[in-house]
Amino acid sequence: MPISPQLANRSGGSLRDKATIKRLKLYTGGKVKRDKQGVVVEGDLARRDRAGNAEITGATGRVAPDRRWFGNTRTIRPEELDKFRHELREARRDPFSVVLHRKRVPTALVEEPSDARPAKLKREELLAAEPFERSGTARKRVRGAADSLEALAAKARRAADAYDARHGGGADARARSSEQAKILERESTDATGRDLFAKGQSRRIWAELYKVLDCSDVVLHVVDARDPPGTTCARVVSHLKTQATHKHLVFVLNKCDLVPNWSVRRWIAILGETAPTLAFRASQTKPFGKGALIDVLRQFAHLKSDAKQISCGVVGYPNVGKSSVINALRAKAVCKVAPVPGETKIWQYVALTKRVNLIDCPGVVYNDDDNDEAAAVLKGVVRAERLPDPSVYIASLLRRCDPQHIVRTYDVPFDGLAGVSEQEDHAQSMAFVDALARKSGRLRKGGEADAHTVAVQLINDWQRGKIPHFVAPPEDPSRRPSGEGETEDKKSYLGSQDCPVYEHVMGAYFGRGSTGPRDSHDGNLQLYRKAISLAHIEGYEEYSGWEVMVLMRVPDLKTRIEGAEDAQTRQAYLKVLDYLVENSAIDHVFSSAVDHPKNCFFEWATVNNYFGGFYNQAAKLFRYGPEVEDESIRWMDECIDAEGKCLA
C-alpha cells in the first residue's frame, strides 16, 4: 500500500512523494478509468488492444519493446521503398548501364513477385535442378590406406615381403620382393615428397614476394655465402632488370663468417658485376657489415630525397637469414627467426630509421628445371625432420665436403666416397651413418643403428654450419685484364660498356637504378669514359667501381700521384687512395662532403679520426652547412696532404 502524500517526508526521511505515488498507481491501476467525456485517464498501459482511444491494427502498428530499435538501425517508410523499387527497375532496363561491382544488398527483399505460379510447381522445378538425395550434406568418406579389403590385404603382403627382404628372408625371397619393395616405397613417399619439395613455390608465397617487390624502392637480395649461385633467385633479378628498372638491387652475402675471406672477396667481385654486393654476418650482438649496409640504405634514401620514406624489401631463398639480417640491423628481435626454413609466413614491415623501412618476405624457391631433391635439401629449403628417408641424401652431402672436416667434426674415420657408382657411394655413406650412430649411442631395439635419426642430424648440421663447406668461386682470368704490357688494353677495356665498373658508376654515382641506353652519344657514357681516363694511374693496376668514384670526387689526387717527386711520396698517395676506398661506403663520404657537409659529419669523423685539427674543422662545416663548399674542398685537400705525409 503506498504511503499517503500527507505523511511523505514528515520525518525528513526518503519517503515517496506525491508524483511517485501517482506514477505507481498508474502502473498498477487495474481497470481503465475514464472521465465524463470517455477519455482514458488511468490504466492505459495495461491494455494490449488499444493505444489511447484508437485500436491497435496492422495499419497503425505498434513498436515492439525491443532494444534493437534503439541501436544502429535504419528504418524506411513505404513511400521510400516504392521509390527505390522504381529506380531499381529503371536501372535494370537501361541498356547503357553496366554493373561493375555488385554490392551485397539483399535486393530480392524489395522486389515485387512477378511469378504468380503456385508454390508446388516451384518446388518441382527445384527438385528437377537438384535431386533431394543430393541436397543434404554428403557423408564424408574416411581416407584410408586402401579402397577395399582386397587392396588392403595386397598392401599388407607387399609390406611383409619388403620386411623379409630387409631382414634376411632368403635369396629367393629377396629377389622376389625387391621390385615389390620399391613399388611400396615409391607409393608411400610420392605423395609426401611432392608436397614437401613444393615448399616455397606455392602461389601464396609468390604473391607475397611480388607484394614486397611492388612496395619496395630498394631490394636486398640475401644470398648464402656458402652457395651464392645456388641461393640466387634468377627470376627476381630478371624481373627487376626488365619490369622494374627504377628499383635498385643490392646483394647481401650473408653468413660470410662460415667461408674463407678469399672466397668472399671473389664472390663479391663476381656478384658486383650485376649489382652492388656487401658481405654480412647477421648477429644482434656482433654483426659484420652492418655499418656499410646502413650507409648504403642512407645513400639510397638521400638519392630519393623527394620521397618521404623509402621501403627496402628483403628477399631470398628460405633459410638464408633474411629475418636475421633485419634483426641485426635493428639490434633486437623484431622478426621471428629459427634455424629451419619456412618460419616467416607473411610479409612484415619494420622501421629501421625515420626514412627507411624494411620489409621481411617469406623465402621463395624457383627452379627452371625439375627440382633436384638433393640440392633442395642441402640448400636448406626442406626441413630434415619431415623427409621420409633422409639417409638417401647423405651421399650427396658427403660428396660436397672435405673428409678431413667430417673426421674433425664427428671423430669418426672417413676416407671419402669412391665415386665409382651411385650404389657404391650410397653403401659407403650408409656405413658412415652406421658408425656414427654406434659412436653416439643412437641404437634401436636389438642393437640396430638408428639411421633415420643420424641422417637428420647430419643434414641439420650441414644446414646450420657445423659441417664446413662452401662453393668455390670460378677462376676467370679474362674477367679483368691485368699484367705488364697491357696498359692500352686496360684503357680500352675500362672505357667500354662491358666493364663492370660502368654499372657501379651509372647506378651509384649518377643516381640511376638502371644504366639506361648505352649509346656512344649518351652523355653518361662520355662522363664515364672521362672518369676512367681520370682514374687511370700508371703503376696502379687494381681498379674497382668504388676507386673510380673516389677519384672522380677527388680529381686533384691523380695529379698529385703522377706529380710526386719521389717514389716514397707516390706510394704514400697510393696508400691514401686505398685507405679512402676501404673506409668509404660507395661514394657517400666525398659526395656528401662536397654537396652537403652537414649530412656527412660522422662519415668524415670515421675516415679521418686521427687528425688533431679535424674536429674543429668538421664542427665549423657542420655549423655553417652547405654554404661552405669551397671551404670543404680546401679542407679536404689539406686532409689528403696531411694523411699522405702521415702514411709516408
State pLDDT tens for residues 513-571.
Answer: 334 333 333 444 444 444 445 444 444 444 444 454 455 445 555 666 666 666 666 66
For residues 484 and 641, the model is more confident at 641
pLDDT tens digits, residue range 211-224?
888 888 899 999 99
The yes-or-no verdict on residue 126 having pLDDT over 70 is no
CA separation for the pair 273, 504 (Å, rounded)? 8
Strand, coil or helix: what is 300? Answer: helix
Write the CA distances from 471 to 244, 265, 425, 598, integer angstroms.
Answer: 30, 13, 21, 44
Does the pLDDT of residue 605 top 50, yes or no? Answer: no
- Single out the residue of 339, 383, 402 nearest to residue 197, CA to CA: 383
For 180-202, write each residue's pLDDT tens digit: 555 555 554 554 455 556 555 67
Query: What's the mean pLDDT when you consider all of the chain?
Result: 68
The full 3-state SS of 337-383, as one line of letters, equals CCCCCCCCCCCEEEECCCCEEEEECCCCCCCCCCCCHHHHHHHCCCC
Is pLDDT at 647 greater than 60 in this prediction?
no
What does DSSP assign to residue 385?
G
Say what the pLDDT of residue 639 is.
58
Domains in the chain: boundaries: 5-57, 149-196, 203-360, 383-463, 481-647
Neighbours of 406 (CB within 10 A): 22
Residue 171 CB burial class (10 angstroms; 0-12, 13-18, ≥19): exposed
CA distance linking residue 273 with residue 503, whole number of Å:
7
CATH of the domain spanning 203-360: 3.40.50.300
DSSP codes, 173-225:
HHHHHHHHHHHHHHHHHHHHHHHHTTTT-SHHHHHHHHHHHHH-SEEEEEEET
Task: Determine phi and psi for 537, rounding to 5 degrees.
Answer: -120, 125
Dist CA 571 CA 560 (whole Å): 11
| Main-chain dihedrals φ then ψ at residue 375, nearest 5 degrees | -65, -40
- With 0.85 as the threshold, say if the pTM is over it: no
Q: Which residue blocks in 441-562 are alpha helix, DSSP H?
A: 451-463, 487-494, 500-504, 523-535, 545-553, 555-562
**Mean pLDDT over residues 587-605, rounded?**
37
340 or 268: whose pLDDT is higher?
Answer: 268
Please measure the distance between the N-terminal and C-terminal CA atoms of the chain and give it in whole angstroms.
115
Radius of gyration of the CA atoms of the chain, in A: 40
Q: Of the ranges 214-218, 442-446, 611-615, 641-645, which one carries the lowest mean pLDDT score?
A: 611-615
Model confidence band, residue 640 (pLDDT cutoffs 50, 70, 90): low
Listing DSSP states for 142-164 in one string gives P--S-SSHHHHHHHHHHHHHHHH
Amino acid sitting at position 470: F
β partners of residue 314:
220, 360
- Of residues 506, 500, 536, the one with CA closest to residue 519: 506
Amino acid letter at 362?
A: P
Determine the residue type at 40: V
pLDDT tens digits along 388-438: 788 888 888 888 888 888 888 888 888 877 676 778 888 888 888 888 888
Rounded to whole angstroms, the maximal C-alpha distance in the chain is: 132
